[in-house]
Structure 1
Amino acid sequence: MRKNTLLLVILVMVSFTAIAQSVDRSSFKAGVMAGMPIGDASDYSTFALGLDVAHHWGVSELFDAGIATGFIHAFGESGSLGDGAITYKFEDIQFIPVAAAIRMYPTYEFKLGADFGYALALNDNMDGGFYIRPSIGYNITGNTELNVSYISVSNDWNFSMVAVGLLFLF
């Protein structure tokens, strides 16, 4: 089931990329991010790494819309209690978000945006949930962006993190 879902996400991304070749202004972005879990997630996880992939189409001079996906891997926390007699290790948490994306450009250097969708959980004992990711980006160069974002996956409990990412325009 998970392999089929991942294959579907990749197929959709490739299809949108192929369609976008005929659109006047479109952009394909890919990059990496690192984050610190906060809230409930900080009890079980210490650090997260991820990949971001997005495709945006120009709707107007100041507004883009598109799709976004990626991979989030939060490393499970481990430690010991008392004098070390009891040790614990929480499982790593993994998600694949599938989302719609919007971006607004108040200036050339800065952008504001958000991704909304669903995050598929890759862990056996965990369900996916509603995915939201507001972000602020800064163009370092014409094809490199530094961004800061808040990521939230909500279902029976909330996985939240603050992330810093680097995206490259292709």
Structure 2
Amino acid sequence: MKKFLIVGALIMSSISYAQGFKAGLNVGIPTGDVSDFYNLQVGADVAYMFEVADKFTVGPMLGYMNFFPEESDFMDNGQFLPVAASGRYGLSESFFLGADLGYGVGLTDGLDGGFYYRPQVGYDFGLIGLIASYSGVSVDGGSWSSVNLGIEFGL
């Protein structure tokens, strides 16, 4: 019985600890120079947000971006691992503005990383939110960018 109570207490404390945890998925249309060669971007990210002021949260974010080429026989996917700081400001009870700033690590051979940015606007339904964003990684000679629409889950 003691083990059951200890396990139950651990589960409850981890649920209360994870109230600021966010996980999201998005799909986008590549823009700029990469739109000539890539036609789809898919991404995922996780963040843990801390409330630092009324309606304002910040926290670390880790993501994954994959750009799919138009002709996969000739080109590899463009892949990045964004590591960033995330910030959100609530405009109302449901609408918010946000931004992620950090570094996008290039995962594809021959693809260097660079400055990662992602301004966003969203609507929070509670446990689920919709987010429209523009994301990009500035690299030597250009930028890997896309216009995105995503869904986010608050756990």
TM-score (norm: length of structure 2): 0.85
Q: Which moved more, 1:126-135 or 1:40-49?
A: 40-49
Match of residue 97 from structure 1: 82
Match of residue 130 from structure 2: 146
Work out which of the residue numbers 105, 109, 132 in structure 1 matches 2:117. Answer: 132
CA root-mean-square deviation: 1.8
Q: Which runs of 5+ in 2 are unaligned?
A: 1-13
Give the alignment of 1:22-101 within 5 angstroms: 27-78=20-71, 89-101=74-86
Offset at residue 89 of structure 1 (A): 2.4
State how far apart, in whole Å, the 2-side matches of 1:46 and 1:133 are: 19
State how far apart, in whole Å, the 1-side matches of 2:136 and 2:65 are: 11
CA contact (8 A) 2:68 2:77 kept: yes
State how far apart, in whole Å, the 2-side matches of 1:34 and 1:73 are: 10
Identity percentage over the alignment? 40
Residue 35 of structure 2 aligns to a residue whose secondary structure is helix
Match of residue 9 from structure 2: none
Amino acid at match of 2:56: F
Residue 89 of structure 1 aligns to a residue whose secondary structure is coil
Q: Could you list the runs of 4 or more consecutive aligned residues of structure 1 that deviate by over 6 angstroms after TM superposition?
A: none
State how far apart, in whole Å, the 2-side matches of 1:152 and 1:50 are: 12
Query: Is 1:167 matched up with 2:152?
Result: yes
TM-score (norm: length of structure 1): 0.78
Offset at residue 77 of structure 1 (A): 1.6
Work out which of the residue numbers 98, 112, 115 in structure 1 matches 2:97. Answer: 112
Offset at residue 44 of structure 1 (A): 1.8
Q: Which runs of 5+ in 1 are unaligned?
A: 1-17, 80-87
Offset at residue 73 of structure 1 (A): 0.8
The number of equivalent residue pairs is 140
* Superimposed CA distance per residue, residues 21-58 of structure 1 (whole angstroms, 9 cap, x where no aligned partner): 3xxx9510002100000001101211011111111000
State how far apart, in whole Å, the 1-side matches of 2:74 and 2:147 are: 23
